[in-house]
Structures are given as structure tokens and as C-alpha cells.
Structure 1
Amino acid sequence: MSDSQRFPVAAQALAYLAHKGAYGPGQAVPSAVLAASVPTNPVVVRRVTAMLARSGLIATRPGASGGAWLLQQPQDIRLDKVLRAVNGCAHLGSPPAGAKGCPVSEHIPRQVAKALSAADSAAAEALSRITIADLLADDPVSLAGIVVVPAQAAAKPARPPARTTVPA
């Protein structure tokens, strides 16, 4: 599972546990049920829930009567903590090394690194204001003003302008 998948799976699993009122072993939600809600493979969910358990956000119990449950209230689980729990990052990448002797190439990677660091810090700061309870709410203040682009629109590449040829 890629790093980019762990955080959304973790956030959705935690929200599902909160939605189901899974606050103790008696309300444990099996990984197959969590996987169906995401939807993903139960193995992916078990890997993510193991990470969430190590961070103290949930507890798990293996076996036929096993599953996962929350150890904290949804309003106390902030998304920046979830991101750290699954070893995720909001990191946007890193600039390539510059070419020696080129004044632009030697300068720009440093500046791009600063810009990426600022964006990463801003993302972490934004996530620190959003909780699992916010994800379940209809119109939480923490998500006000955020515009979501549908996946199909975001996935479509921009069409380059048509090229015209001039006859010789």
C-alpha cells in the first residue's frame, strides 16, 4: 500500500468506528467490515489499524470475534495526529539537485525546498484543526470554504490546443 493511501484509509476507518459507536471490545468492528466501508482489502485495513493501535488511537483484538474500536472520542482525534500515526506526510516532494555551475539551477532547488516546506507546514496546520467528528458532521466549521473537485474532473488532463498546419 502506498503512503498516499494510508491516511485516507485511516481517516475513513476512524470515522466509521465513531459512526458505529465502537468504543470498546463489545462494539469492535471487524477488519472485513471496515474494508467494505472504505472499500479496500481487509489486509490493507489491518495494516492501517495496526499503525493506529500503535499510536494509541484505537485498540484491536484478533480472531473471529476481533476487530477495532476507538480509544479516544472523535472530537479529540485530530487529522494531523492520524497522518503521523500512519507515517504519512503532506510532503509534496523534493526538488532535484541543481546542476553545478548554473546560477539558476544552484539557486532554485533551495527556493523550491523552502516553498515545499511552507506548503507542508500549512497542510499540517490545517489538518490540526480538523477532527474525526468534523468528518462526520454535515457542515463543520473546520471545513467551511473548502471546495472539493470531483475525482473525474481532477483526473482529466487538460487538452492541449489543436495544432494547425499551414500548407507549404
Structure 2
Amino acid sequence: MSDSQRFPVAAHALAYLAHKGAYSPAEAAPSAVLAASVPTNPVVVRRVTALLAKAGLIGTRPGASGGAWLLHRPETITLDTVLRAVHGCAHLGSPPAGAKGCPVSTHIPRQVAKALTAADLAAGEALSKVTIADLLAADPPSLAGFAPHPSCPVAA
């Protein structure tokens, strides 16, 4: 799974668990059900849910009767927390070391690294204002004024 898919899959899975009211092992949603909702492969969902469980956002139980459930209310789970849990899907790459002797290469890697830090901080700040509950709302204030990103498929 690419880094760029971890965050959307994680946000979707958490929103699904909230929508279904999965707050205990008895209400756990199996990875196949979560995968059908995304839609993606259950293995992708299990990899993401393992990261979310490690971060303490969900509980999981393996096996045929296994699944995932929320450990926190959706109103308290911010998207920056989700982003950190899945190791920063806003990851824009890392600068190459640069060629020895090139005058541009002496500065570019350091400056690009600083720009990436600025972008990461800006993404975290924006996402800290949006919760999983907001994703389920029709028109939450935290997303007012924003249109869907042009690269994202959106149901009409």
C-alpha cells in the first residue's frame, strides 16, 4: 500500500466504525466489512488498523470473529492524530543528497527538507481542526468553504 493511501483508508475506517457505533469488541467490524466500505483489500485494512491500534485509537481482535472498534468518541479523534498514527501520509518525499561539486546541490537538500517540514506542519495544523465526527456530518463548520480536492473522485 502506498503512503498516500494509508491516511484516507484510516480516516474512512474510523468514520465507518463511528457510523456503525462500534465501541466495544461485541460491536467490532471485521476487516472484510471495512474493506468493502472503502473499497480495498482486507489486507490493506488490516495493515492500517494495526497502525491505528498501535496508536491507541482502536481496539482489534484477530481471527474469524475478530474485527476493530473505536476506543474514543469520534468527536475527540482529530485527523492530525490519524495522520501521525499512520506515519504521515502527507509525506511528500525526501530530498536527494545532491551531486558532489554541484553548487546547487550544496543548498537544495537542506532547503527542500525545510520546505517539507513547513508543509508537514501546515497539514497537521489544518487537520487538527477536523474530527472523525466531522467526516460523517453533512456540512461541518471545520470544512465549510472547502471544495473536494480536484484529484479525489467524489460521488455526484
* TM-score range relative to shorter protein: 0.7 to 0.9
Per mean C-alpha deviation after superposition, the further-off stretch among 80-89 and 64-73 is 80-89
Counterpart of 2:115 in structure 1 is: 115
The CA RMSD measured in Å over matched residues stands at: 2.0
Counterpart of 2:125 in structure 1 is: 125
Kindly provide the CA deviation profile for residues 100-155 of structure 1, in whole angstroms up to 9, marking residues without a partner as x. 444434233332222221111101111111110111111112112222244479xx
Higher normalized contact order (CA 8 Å, seq sep 6+, divided by chain length): 2
- Distance of 2:30 and 2:38 partners within structure 1: 13
- Distance of 2:13 and 2:23 partners within structure 1: 13
1:89 CA displacement: 4.0
Q: 1:152 to 1:85 in 2, by over 3 A?
A: closer
1:97 CA displacement: 2.8
Q: Is the 8 A contact 2:49 2:68 kept in 1?
A: yes
Q: 1:47 to 1:94 in 2, by over 3 A?
A: closer
Structure 1 gaps of 5+ residues are 154-168
- Distance of 2:23 and 2:79 partners within structure 1: 19
Q: 1:44 to 1:102 in 2, by over 3 A?
A: closer
- AA in 2 matched with 1:66: G
Counterpart of 2:19 in structure 1 is: 19
Q: 1:46 to 1:101 in 2, by over 3 A?
A: closer
Q: How does 1:1-168 map to 2 (within 5 A)?
A: 1-151=1-151
- Distance of 2:24 and 2:7 partners within structure 1: 23
Per mean C-alpha deviation after superposition, the further-off stretch among 81-90 and 95-104 is 95-104
- Distance of 2:124 and 2:37 partners within structure 1: 26
Q: 1:106 to 1:17 in 2, by over 3 A?
A: same
Q: Is the 8 A contact 2:5 2:89 kept in 1?
A: no
**Corresponding residue SS for 1:106:** coil
**Corresponding residue SS for 2:68:** strand
1:12 CA displacement: 0.3
Q: 1:23 to 1:141 in 2, by over 3 A?
A: same
- Distance of 2:141 and 2:32 partners within structure 1: 32
Q: 1:87 to 1:116 in 2, by over 3 A?
A: closer
Aligned residue-pair number:
153
Larger Rg: 1
Structure 2 gaps of 5+ residues are none
Per mean C-alpha deviation after superposition, the further-off stretch among 17-26 and 80-89 is 80-89
- Distance of 2:123 and 2:107 partners within structure 1: 25
**Corresponding residue SS for 1:69:** strand
1:82 CA displacement: 1.1
